[in-house]
Amino acid sequence: MADQLSATGAARHTPAAPVASSWGVVAIALLAGVLAAGQVGKVIVALPTVRDALGMSLTASGILLSSYTFVGALLGSAAGGFVDRWGRRRMLVLALLVLAVGAGLGAVSPSTPVLLGSRVLEGLGFMGAVVSAPAIITAAAGPEHRRLALGMWGFYMPLGQFVAILLGPWVIDGIGWRGLWAVNAGLLLACAALVVAVVPAVSGVSVSDVAKPAPVWRNSSAVILALAFGTYSLQYLAVIGFLPTMYAAGGWADTSAAVLTALVVLGNIVGNIISGLLLHRGVRPGTLIAIASTSMGLAAVVVYAGWAPFALSYGAAVVFALMGGHLPAAVFAAVPGVARGPREIGPVNGLVVQMSNVGSIAGPPAVAFVATHVGGWSMSPLVLSAAAAVCLAAGLALRAKTSR
């Protein structure tokens, strides 16, 4: 009897075995995000060809570019709430199928209105993908690797755009812009099949018996995190979006300006990877957010400085993207800790993505307004550095909250 009690006590004090990380699942979820982001990048490279083919007005082309952003700004938080209600895998598969249908419809669009409608479908699919994929990654990564895995998720957007910008022109030259849309539809369908084959139907902690938390807007830490990502997106898109225009105005050919911009985006990817490694080593997300926002605010001044030679201005753009890349990884790695329970991870992801889209809507028009009416490009840091200051405050507040 004593031996049995001793054995029972020993069993109670035996430390639990570490939870293994399912890196195959993480890779498939990341691939889904990259393909979803590629649907943003394909329009950037194909827009001149599409405008000529369909006789599209400048206003319609602007709507074509921003449709993703408006859908995300309206529905991001709501989409996050459906993740646990429908299931993470089911949500991701449905999102990829909707994206594929949208891309397929776009490939056969006879007119501008039909193409714009297809982009709305793609925007809905995009939102479903980017709120369900990180929830799948959170469940698939063991506690030891969770920050690293979510840090990797942080570069899904720049990587998807980079690949689309780099390879899109080759595809268009070979099979036209409709062929580019059709290729993307096929890749999205293949990715949906991979999700079904690789991602478990039920992964991570079951939340069926967890009480539904209060609305995510009442979670102050989640709001701070979303504010940090929103102000980051405001800065990032305002700078990256206008770089080709600035370089072309400076005498660079359109192709050269596109390549220079793509290399800046590549710097953002590298920053995300470095941030993931730092998070894995225990650096706090709030600290990385504060460092990234400070670096972006200072670099933006040099990017738009009229006195700076091109080499210095371009180097500042690379630094802006490289250091800014630390922020998305930090934000997504912070989501599980900020959520008040497993059921809130999806809504927090949705809120973060929603604020990101709001920032993307606000940034470029604000910078363009200042450049047009206040004093040229050199005055753009009035907007960008102000946003960086808000982002810095959010990072410091998040650091203080998580340390408590």
Task: Give the span between the Cα atoms of 358 and 397, in whole angstroms.
Answer: 21
Residue whose C-alpha is closest to residue 47's, from 33, 35, 67, 62: 62
Q: Check residues 87 and 257 and name the one with the higher pLDDT.
A: 87
* Per-range mean pLDDT, top range of 156-160, 184-188, 215-219, 276-280: 184-188
Residue whose C-alpha is closest to residue 359's, from 394, 318, 335: 394
Give the pLDDT of residue 404.
61
Q: What angle do CA 195, 21, 77 make, to 5 degrees?
A: 55
Residue whose C-alpha is closest to residue 42's, from 233, 185, 234: 185
Task: Give the span between the Cα atoms of 73 and 353, in whole angstroms.
Answer: 8
Average of per-residue pLDDT across 293-305: 88
Q: Is the pLDDT of residue 132 over 90?
A: no
Helix residue spans in 87-143 (DSSP H): 88-107, 112-140
Q: Check residues 74 and 202 and name the one with the higher pLDDT.
A: 74
Q: Which two three-digit tokens encode residue 127? A: 């939102």
Q: Which two three-digit tokens encode residue 287? A: 């600290």
Domains of the chain: 24-203 (1.20.1250.20), 213-404 (1.20.1250.20)
Mean of the per-residue pLDDT values for the chain? 80
Residue whose C-alpha is closest to residue 148's, from 51, 55, 281: 281
* Amino acid at the residue 312: L
Residue showing tokens 């827009």: 47
Alpha-carbon radius of gyration of the chain: 22
The pLDDT tens digits of the residues spanning 319-336 come to: 999 999 899 888 888 887
Q: What is the DSSP string of 65-96?
A: HHHHHHHHHHHHHHHHHHHHHH-HHHHHHHHH
Q: What is the DSSP string of 1-68?
A: -HHHHHHHHHHHHSPPPPPPP-HHHHHHHHHHHHHHHHHHHHHHHHHHHHHHHHT--HHHHHHHHHHH
63: burial class by Cβ within 10 Å (0-12, 13-18, 19+)? middle
Widest distance between CA atoms in the chain: 88
Give the pLDDT of residue 29.
92
Q: Are 293 and 392 in contact (CB under 8 A)?
A: yes
Give the confidence band of 182 by pLDDT, cuts at 50, 70, 90: very high
Residue whose C-alpha is closest to residue 281's, from 150, 387, 162, 147: 147
Give the confidence band of 61 by pLDDT, cuts at 50, 70, 90: low
Residue whose C-alpha is closest to residue 295's, from 235, 372, 374, 362: 235
User: Quick one: what percent of the chain has pLDDT higher than 90?
Assistant: 19
Phi, psi of 55 (to 5 degrees): 65, 40
Residues 6+ apart with CB under 8 A from 92: 29, 32, 128, 129, 132, 133, 136, 195, 199
> What is the per-residue burial (b if ≥16 Cβ within 10 Å, else e) of 166-188?
bbbbebbeeeebbebbbbbbebb
DSSP H or E run through 307: none
Q: Are 148 and 277 in contact (CB under 8 A)?
A: yes
Residue showing tokens 């099979």: 175
Give the confidence band of 128 by pLDDT, cuts at 50, 70, 90: confident
Give the pLDDT of residue 204.
41
Task: Give the span between the Cα atoms of 89 and 84, in whole angstroms.
Answer: 10
Q: Check residues 348 and 390 and name the one with the higher pLDDT.
A: 390
Average of per-residue pLDDT across 257-273: 83
Give the pLDDT of residue 193.
94
Q: Are 58 and 90 in contact (CB under 8 A)?
A: no
- DSSP code at position 141: S
